[in-house]
Amino acid sequence: MRALKGHSIAFIAPPPPAVARAGFDPRVYALSPGNVEFLRALGVWQDVPAERIARVEAMRIFGDDKRAVLEFDAYEAGARELAWIVEDSALQLALWSGLSGMALRCERLEAGAEHALISFADGAPLAAKLVVGADGAHSFVRSAAGIAVRERGFGQTAVVANFHCTRAHGNVAYQWFQGGPVLALLPLPGEQVSMVWSLPEGEAQRVAALSPEALAAEVTNASQDILGTLATASAARSFPLQRLSARRLIAPRVALAGDAAHVVHPLAGQGLNLGLQDARALAAVIAEREPGRDPGDERLLRRYERRRAEPILAMDAVISGLFSLYGTGNAVAGRVRNAGLNLTDRLPVLKNILIRQAMS
């Protein structure tokens, strides 16, 4: 338990496992500059080793027609970077720096007029004015609070791995829409990149089971040799993809954040960014409340829900729309989506609007 600005906060979660530092974690995130500033203000970003993070200074997005290209450049937008690439393990360790979690098994959550009571299988119960469910897609808090979800699979699995490249990435992130599958290569420090390849489930199993040499050759070919010949720098891992949306972000004395509230396709790299934006909004609502108002007051929590409803819905609609548009084999849809990439690339004002939105 830790005191923070007049409140006692208990973290109920096991600390992240220790990891070897020989290579980069194959699971990485692309964090927006706005969220990095939030982490910096919390004193978290400074604890991520500088040699473990990389800037994204430009992006190149390719349609399934090789002539369809959309490019974003930080310099043209008047910014130093479009995003930061950080390893999952490095970020978790930084977030946990100076904290201690209680690795207890939650059994029950009961909301009352004055507080919520959490009961554990292996510890004394805990009373709290507010319980924040940031416990992932299979959230205990969400289930215990009786918040329903809409959930469906994308029929895809994400395969992740890291590679050495023979051509400098220049801090450019690359993405290819492949008529359903989506391949992304994200810059890492040095001449390495992190791959996220969203594939149909059967194809993902085949790719994840390839030998290191065969995997590198397949990704080199799929990425059109844009970074030269690739060589594997980590074993491949895979994660099934799903879409999840909680019907409410709040319940009596409960607020949901992150994957407990929403899970989106990784094609835009916005999953963790949405979660951190939830945290920023909830912290702001609590900090701005009237003197004497309970942080778990339902009217206060509604402010949080209203503040986040539109951004979450908009991002989910954009990502799901892109997935549907690029997942169809219809020839007319193919011409529309590739023409759309090229048209957007020719409209600097629209490109800057998209960049500013993604950087928030």
- Domain assignment present for 339: no
Q: Are residues 126 and 220 in the same domain?
A: no
Give the CATH number of the domain where residue 317 resides: 3.50.50.60
The kind and range of the H/E element at 300 are helix 298-327
Both 237 and 253 in a single domain? Answer: no
The predicted structure's pLDDT at residue 113:
87
Looking at the 3D structure of the chain, how many domains does it have?
2
Cβ contacts of 92 within 8 Å, gap of 6 or more: 16
CA separation for the pair 42, 280 (Å, rounded): 11
Q: Is residue 299 part of a domain?
A: yes
Supply φ then ψ for residue 24, to 5 degrees: -85, 145
pLDDT average per 10 residues of sequence, the chain (360 residues): 60 74 85 95 92 94 79 86 94 82 80 91 89 95 96 92 97 91 95 96 96 98 96 95 95 97 87 95 94 93 96 85 64 58 55 64
> Same domain, yes or no, for 264 and 285?
yes
Distance CA 238, CA 125 (A): 37
Q: Is residue 350 part of a domain?
A: no
- What pLDDT was estimated at residue 20? 59
| CATH number, residue 235 | 3.30.9.10
**Pair (163, 229) in one structural domain:** yes
Return the pLDDT at 11.
83
Is residue 177 domain-resident?
yes
Do 182 and 288 sit in the same domain of this protein? Answer: no
Q: Distances from the Cα of 214 to the Cαs of 187, 210, 222, 321, in angstroms?
A: 21, 6, 12, 33
**pLDDT value at residue 19:** 64
Specify the residue for token string 């829900």: 305
161 and 275 in a common domain: no
Q: What φ, ψ does residue 191 adopt, rounded to 5°? A: -95, 60
Amino acid 1: pLDDT = 38
User: pTM, whole model, 2 decimals?
Assistant: 0.89
Task: Confirm whether 162 is domain-assigned.
Answer: yes
On whether residue 137 sits in a domain, the answer given is yes
Residues 57, 162, single domain; the answer is yes
Residues 86 and 227 in one domain: yes
- Are the beta carbons of 11 and 99 closer than 8 angstroms? yes
Sign of CA dihedral 187, 193, 196, 197: positive
Q: How many degrees, rounded to 5, is the angle at CA 115 between CA 110 and CA 121?
A: 45
For residue 11, tell me if it sits in a domain.
Answer: no
Residues 137 and 281 in one domain: yes
Domain closes at, from 241, 269, 294: 241
**Do residues 175 and 310 share a domain?**
no
90 plus 234 within the same structural domain: yes
Q: Which domain holds residue 64?
A: 48-96+154-241
Taking the C-alpha atoms of residue 255 and residue 248, their distance in angstroms, rounded to an integer, is 9
173 and 311 part of one domain: no
